[in-house]
Structure 1
Amino acid sequence: MNGSISSRSAVFWLLQRITGLLLAVFLFTHVKVLHFDYNFAERGLIDFSFVIERLHSSVGWGIFYFCFILSALFHGLNGAWAVIMDFRPSPAGRKAWLVALWIIGIGVAVWALNTLNSFYRGGV
């Protein structure tokens, strides 16, 4: 390597910043809705049935949480990749790490979609 930054690296750098901003928005929305808009005096504590009821009230909440999860997943795995690259692994090590991170990413994304989907099917 000659030390130059590839356009691919620049895209991932930009996506890291975008997902960081999205995570801030998602987290703010999540905390506001669950901790400030919810009337504990009237309804009591938040329990599992409340979560199911809220997810059933709108497909938008499912989309919101899936995007939240995907943003967090990309942000975390891309950050892990950056840390791994700081250690300058060999080409074989780099490939092994990349495959491992992709497997983790795809596995967690499928698991998240399946979990959210089960709320809508009533199977959780």
Structure 2
Amino acid sequence: MADTLHLVDVLDRHNSSRDVWADRGYHDRPCERWLKPIGWRPHIQREGKAGKPIGVRDQARNRRIASPRARVEHIFASLAQMGGKAIRGIGLARAEFGLTFKSAVYNLKRMTSPLEMA
């Protein structure tokens, strides 16, 4: 099932940031209209339709939204290169350990980048 159908379910109402960043797959005007009155600030990219491309203004908006999203997407891409969320093992504790270990490896890899540049 598409994760775009569960946007509302994953929003953390206790989060201090009220910004919602999403790509074109989450573009749904009724959903955006629903988010604003309850205090969320949607930053969802616009999507063109077949035969009707998006305008210059929406293209500029997509670029503005893409910049902060790229910083997060690079992390997920790097984790995907390490095998993604697939963990071979039985039990939740082992799966959590595997994902925590992958995250630690990613952080160590990132830490070495500034050291190599210096």
The structure with the greater share of residues assigned to strand is 2
Determine which structure has greater relative contact order: mean sequence separation of CA pairs < 8 Å that are 6+ residues apart, divided by chain length. Answer: 1
Does TM-score exceed 0.5, indicating one fold?
no
Which TM-score applies when normalising by structure 1?
0.32
Which TM-score applies when normalising by structure 2?
0.33
The structure with the greater share of residues assigned to helix is 1
